[in-house]
Amino acid sequence: MLIHRSQIAPADADREWLGALPRRDRLIDSLESMAAIGLQGDGSVCRRGFSPADVQGRDQLACWMQEAGMQVRVDAAGNLIGRLEGQDPSLPVLMTGSHLDTVPTGGRFDGVLGVLAGLECVRALSDVGRRLRHPLEVVAFADEESTMVGCKGMAGTASMDPSAYTTSNGDPIDINLERIGGHWSSLPSAARPDSAVAAFLELHVEQGAVLEQRRDAIGIVEGIVGQRRFSIHVKGQANHAGTTPMGLRHDALAAASRIVLAVEEMARCHPGDPVATVGRLEVWPNAANVVPGSVSMTVDIRDLDSTVLDQLVSCLQEELESIGLATGCAIRLEPQFQVSPTPADALVMATIETVAEDLGLSMSRLPSRASHDAQEIGRRWPMGMIFVPSREGLSHSAAEFTSDSQCLSGTAVLLHTLEQLDRVLS
């Protein structure tokens, strides 16, 4: 039974949740305890995948899972999985989770909130002696910030080529997996059958400022964007900056500057809401008195619609041809990688929306423009993501902040969405 909006005031940090609901003190204590593992002097958190701090965090989570009555195991892809059996163990699992690993100067909420919120859902159900019809699994996926070997392994999309994995510590993937209880040679065994999962839910901090600007408590993620990333190489002619007249120059940096503006303009002017970014420039010879002879740059293009991505790439190619002709520079576009979009499941999104409304929480829909474990899991099974606000959109830093009440609101939405899906899914 869902709690009525009259029973909750999410903006009031002193208001207690009523009924079979997550407990604020327990959730926040868990978040603070995990943040202490890998805590740095500047307030950031460093739990790189496969590091001693990562192992320590996983060990702590496994202990909490066992105390909550869950069966705990690590699969071949290094995923730490806690399972609470359901009333009907023949049903496919309802799954939730995220990751514990961080970037070098990570925050206290990215990834870890989704894992510990899932644990709190299990604890809240246990508080009232309830089990879902479906088995419920909480997963801490392995190494989300670097290789994503965990979610790819479970989805069956992981490469068996060790060279395909660039790890943060530089060690081979097989050695790293052994450190956390995985097993490289058995990696294919981590893939679940199609019938194994009923739905996957991931709670995550937004890592952007959209919800804060909209003053919404909950974000219903429409999907995780696809990415197209390219290198662009501009070849001009290096020459003396003082003796080369403007009309006789083939200035690679001037051409690159036009490309930067063209990339920005094509995203701004395209219907919908794509994003495109020039993130890196390398100029040669990079001297004050030399006309630049060559520039290498990266372009990152993201959108939820593959057709839009195709249109933007086509537009970029046309712009590069035009700029090359206008500047007399040779311009080469070189693909780096391509990631397909992963749409969220319509039923899961609608259920999140219904739950948030019943709890009296303001909400809106938005895409996720960052990658998450849900991106790979959602390629195989119905997927949904719940966002809670990030103050000023800051993430991957010590300044990352989501309030206690916002974390609790997101966890309540997660719990009741799982309960609702448990009722309607077979």
Residue 20 is predicted with a pLDDT of 66
Per the CB < 8 A criterion, the answer to whether 385 and 221 are in contact is yes
Contacts of 52 (CB under 8 A, 6+ apart): none
The beta-carbon contacts of 4-11 under 8 Å, at least 24 apart in sequence, are 4/358, 5/357, 5/358, 5/359, 5/360, 6/360, 8/359, 8/360, 8/361, 8/412, 9/360, 10/217, 10/359, 10/360, 10/361, 10/405, 10/406, 10/408, 10/409, 11/405
DSSP code at position 304 = S
Least Cα distance to 296 among 282, 317, 279, 316 occurs for: 282
The answer to whether 375 and 224 are in contact (CB under 8 A) is yes
Domains plus CATH for the chain? 5-224+341-424 (3.40.630.10), 226-339 (3.30.70.360)
Distances (CA, A) of 114 to 146, 205, 398, 412: 18, 8, 18, 12
Q: Indicate the pTM of the whole model.
A: 0.91
Phi-psi region of 326 (alpha: psi -120 to 50; beta: other; left: phi over 0): alpha
Residue 219 pairs in a beta bridge with 364, 387
Give residue 89's pLDDT. 87
d(CA 41, CA 328): 51
Give the pLDDT of the chain (426 residues) as one tens digit per residue.
233 333 333 433 333 333 468 999 999 999 999 999 999 999 999 999 999 999 999 999 999 999 999 999 999 999 999 999 999 989 999 999 999 999 999 999 999 999 999 999 999 999 999 999 999 999 999 999 999 999 999 999 999 999 999 999 999 999 999 999 999 999 999 999 999 999 999 999 999 999 999 999 999 999 999 999 999 999 999 999 999 999 999 999 999 999 999 999 999 999 989 999 999 999 999 999 999 999 999 999 999 999 999 999 999 999 999 999 999 999 999 999 999 999 999 999 999 999 999 999 999 999 999 999 999 999 999 999 999 999 999 999 999 999 999 999 999 999 999 999 999 999
pLDDT of 5: 38
Residues in CB range of 247: below 8 A, 6 or more apart: none
pLDDT at 11: 38
Are 128 and 20 in contact by the 8 Å Cβ rule? The answer is yes
